[in-house]
Amino acid sequence: MQLCTFLLLSLALALCLASPMPPLDINGTEKWKDIPVINKGLNLKEGDIMVSNQKSAILGNEYRWDIPVPYTLSVNLDMNYKGVILRAFEQFRLKSCIDFKPRAAEDFYISVESREGCWSSVGRTSPGGQTLSIGNGCGIKAIVEHEFLHALGFWHEQSRYDRDDYVTIKFENIIKGKESNFNKYSENETTTQGTPYDYYSVMHYDKNAFSNGNGSTIITKLPEFQDVIGQRLDISEYDVIELNKLYKCSSSISFLDHCSFDDESLCQMSVCSAADYGWQRVKSVSGINVTDHSYLGKEQNGTSFFMHFSTEGRNEGDTARMESKTMTPKRDCKVQCLQFYYYHSGNESDQLNIWIREYQNEEDNRGTLRLMDQITEFPGNYWKLHHVSLNANKTFQVVFEARKGAGNSSGGFSLDDINISETECPHTWQIRNFSVMESSTHYSPLYYSSDGYRFQAALEVYPSFLSMYVRLVSGAYDDQLQWPCPWRQITFQILDQNPHIQKRMSSELSITTDPSTYFNGIYYWDNPQKNGTRVTIGNETVYVGLLWGYKYFIMKDDLIRREFIKGGDIIFLFNMQDISGLLQNHSLPCSKVTVKNFNISPDASAQQGPCAPRALPTPQPNSTTRTTTTSPTEG
C-alpha cells in the first residue's frame, strides 16, 4: 500500500474491544508527500508538467477535450489508485460539467499510467493517447484532480499573470536551477476566465514548494492564507467555476438539488398544510434550544432559516408533508443519495418518513409513492446527518412526511441543508462533542457493505494529527462471501460540513483489500472467524480482524480550515466498494440500492397527488455535446 499505510495488530484480550497497537510500518513513518517532493529529480516543467512538442504556454482551441473525456487505466496502475481515480471522476461529475468515459475508439484520450511521479501535459496535446502518470505516492484524490486539471487545460495558480498582487515569490529560497518553476504567464498566453486569485485552489503549490531550506518560497499577501495554499483536500469552488467557464457550461453531471431554506421560495419545495399547521420556515423554535444548522457555530446573518414541524399538541396520526421540486435522473446508473440534517425534539414514537413520488410519464399528475426510509427514535436534541439511498428511474420528487406518534411531545422534527445527487450513499459516523485537544481512541459502529462484508473503523487522536484504521468484523453473511476478501476499496472521509455539497472540500483516503496480502502466517483480509480475535461490541460477541489504515490521516491544523468540526461534532463517512472489475476493465458496474421494507401506508391525501400541481420537467442539457473550444487556462 502507498502513502504511509500502516499495519496494526489487534492484540486484545478475549471479550474486550481491541485497541490499535503501535503500527508495524510498511511504507515508512513519514507524513504524506506533495507533488514537488514525489517528483524530485524528474526535471519536469513547474514540477509536474510534461512538455509536448508543441509550444506549451500558448495553446489554441484544439487543446480542449470533447466531453465526456475518453480515458484508459493501465494494467500497471495500483488497484487502490484505480479506485481513487474513479472517485476523483465522481467529484468532477458532482461539482462540474466535466464527465469521463472509458475509451472506445477515440484518437484523443488520456492514458492513465503508473510512471515515476505524478504528472500530465496541459490540455489535449496529441492523438494516440497522452500519458497522465499516477505513480507511487500519487494515489490521493486531490493529487489525481490536480493532474487531471492540467490535462483539461489548467496551469498552476501561482503562474497567473496577476499573481504578484496576491503572493510574493522568494527566489532566494528556491533550489538553484528550479527558479523557472515559478515563471508566470502573460495575459496573451493564458486566461483566468475572470475568476479571482484562489488561495484554496488545488492547483496552487504550498508555501515551501522547491525550497532550499532557507525559508518559504511563496508568501501570501494575506497572512491568513499562508498555510492554506497547497491544500490537498479537493478541487475548490473557484476551480470549478473556472473549469465550467473554460468548457462553456454550467450544469453538473450528478448534482440534483440543494436547499438550506434561506430563501422564501423554499428552493421550489412545496408544503401541504395550512399556514398555522405543518412544516414552518423558522429561525428558532420557542421552548427548544435549536437554531439553523447552516450557520451553526457562526454569527447569524439574519437569513438563516430551517423547517420545523411541531408534534406538540397534535393528535396521533396527524401528518404534514413537504415535497421537493421534480427531478429527472440523468445518469445511466439509477442510484441517488438524499442527504439532510434533522433535529428530533419530539416523542420517540413520532415518525419522519422519507418517500419518493415517481412519475411514469409527463401525463402522470399523481405519481406513485414509495417509502424509502423512516426515522423513529429517542429524541437527540442535536443536528444529526442522515443519508437515504434512492433508486428513482424516472422523474421524481422527495417527500418528507412528519407523522405524530403516541405520547406527549414538547418539540417535533426540524430539517435543514438538504442535498440530492446521483451518487451512492456512504455510511455515517457522527462523533458528538469532539475534542481535538485530548488524546483518545474511538470506535465506529459496525457497518455492512452492499455485498455483505462487515467492517469497523478506529480513530486515534494524537496531539498533532488523527489516525484512521479499519478492520473486518464477522457478520451474518460470512458463509456466503469470498475469502480472503478480494479487492474491496474502503474510503475514509472527514466531512467538510459546508451546507452545499458542491462547495465542500472534504479530506479522504482509501485502502483496498488485496486477497494475496500475507503476514505472519495468515492472510490479512481472511475471514475474521478463522484468524480474528474474539471481542464484545455492544451486546454482540464477534471476531475482528487486524487493523489497517493511515497514521497521518489528517493534521489537526487542517481541521480548522474548513467546517470539519461544526457545533462540536465531527462526521466521518465510509464507503466499501467492490472494485474487482478494475482488474480487467476501466469502469465499474452500477451499484444497487438495498430496498427497505416498511409496514406503513401513505396518508390518504398524499395518494391523491403532490402538494402543488405538477409542472412539466425542464429539459436537461446534453452533457456530452461538443461545445466551442477555448484555450487552456491557469488554475
Mark the binding-site residues for Zn(2+), compressed into ranges.
146, 150, 156
Q: What is the 3-class SS of 45-80, one letter each residue? A: ECCCECCCCCCCCCCCHHHCCCCCEEEEECCCCCHH
Q: How far is Cα 271 from Cα 290, in angstroms, rounded to an integer?
A: 21
Q: Look up residue 86 and give its DSSP letter.
A: H
Q: How far is Cα 2 from Cα 6, in angstroms, rounded to an integer?
A: 9
Catalytic one among 46, 147, 242, 460? 147
E strands, 336-411, where?
336-344, 351-358, 368-375, 383-390, 396-403
Residue 418 in contact with residue 258, Cβ under 8 Å?
Answer: yes
Cell of 522: 495468515
Distances (CA, A) of 216 to 175, 206, 211, 349, 541: 11, 9, 6, 59, 53
Residue 284 in contact with residue 300, Cβ under 8 Å?
Answer: no
At 607, phi and psi to the nearest 5? -70, -20
Is 147 in the active site? yes
For residue 68, is the peptide bond before it cis, meaning its omega torsion is within 30 degrees of 0? yes
Helix/strand number for the chain, H first, E second? 7, 38
| H/E stretch holding 417 | strand 412-421
* Residue where the block lists cell 408533508: 321
Q: How far is Cα 347 from Cα 311, in angstroms, rounded to an integer?
A: 8
Task: Look at residue 571 and give its three-state secondary structure.
Answer: strand
Q: How many beta carbons lie within 10 A of that of residue 104, not counting itself?
A: 7
User: Taking Cα atoms as reference points, which of 593, 479, 566 lies closest to residue 291?
Assistant: 566
Biggest CA-to-CA distance, the chain: 78
Task: Return the sign of the alpha-carbon dihedral for residues 297, 300, 303, 308.
Answer: positive
* Burial of 67 from C-beta contacts in 10 A (0-12 / 13-18 / 19+): buried
Cross-strand partners of 295: none
* Residue where the block lists cell 508566470: 184
Residue 125 in contact with residue 65, Cβ under 8 Å?
Answer: no
Q: How far is Cα 597 from Cα 603, in angstroms, rounded to an integer?
A: 17
Q: How far is Cα 259 from Cα 306, in angstroms, rounded to an integer?
A: 10
Cell of 464: 498533532
Residue 83 in contact with residue 510, Cβ under 8 Å?
Answer: yes
* Alpha-carbon 90 to chain mean position: 8
572 HSE (CA, 13 A, CB side): 26
Report the catalytic residues. Answer: 147
